[in-house]
Amino acid sequence: MIFFLMKETTRPNEDIHIRHLTGQDLATGQFAPTMLGQFRHALAQGADILEQHGNSLHDVTRMVVTLTKTDEFASCFTTLNEVFGRTCPAMTFRLVKKHQHAPQLIELDLLVAIPDASLCGI
């Protein structure tokens, strides 16, 4: 898992970009057997990292979902609705031929775009 604070030259604030969140349990090294299980685990990892930096999943503005197949992703819709409700972040889907680990079914990248205070009238 890689965590970045991205600096842009167009605004002074730092965006938060968390990459390579998977359904792998870091304590055991095992992957959840279903895409939904892996999706929930990856979101929980992301939530923990965001919390350490004073943010939450509700602050996520974009999610990149990397999959090898799309047929199981429908099982994740209920969790998306539970976590984000009507404020679901913009989503990008990437299809790959295979993941780094054979049992891996999904990978998430989360982006929190910090708004420029000068644009918000603050």
pLDDT tens, per residue, the chain with 122 residues? 545 444 333 344 678 999 999 999 888 999 999 999 999 999 999 999 999 989 999 999 999 999 999 999 999 999 999 999 888 899 999 999 999 888 999 999 999 987 765 554 54
Q: How far apart are CA 92 and CA 100, in angstroms?
A: 20
In the Cβ-directed half-sphere of 71, how many Cα atoms lie within 13 Å? 0
Judged by DSSP in three states, 113 sits in coil
Please measure the distance between the N-terminal and C-terminal CA atoms of the chain and give it in whole angstroms.
34
pLDDT of residue 11: 40
Confidence at residue 61, expressed as pLDDT on a 0 to 100 scale: 95
Q: 31 is in which domain, residue-wise? A: 2-120
Structural domains counted in the chain: 1
Q: What is the pTM of this model?
A: 0.82
Predicted pLDDT of residue 10: 38
- Beta bridge pairs of residue 35: none
71-98 per-residue burial string, b: 16 or more CB within 10 A, e: under 16: ebbeebeeebeebeeeeebeeeeeeeee
What is the rounded distance in angstroms from the CA atom of residue 1 to the CA atom of residue 51?
Answer: 16
Which pLDDT belongs to residue 5?
47
Question: What span, in angstroms and rounded, lies between the C-alpha atoms of 31 and 45?
Answer: 13
Q: What is the pLDDT of residue 121?
A: 52
pLDDT score for 26: 83
CATH number at residue 86: 3.30.1330.40
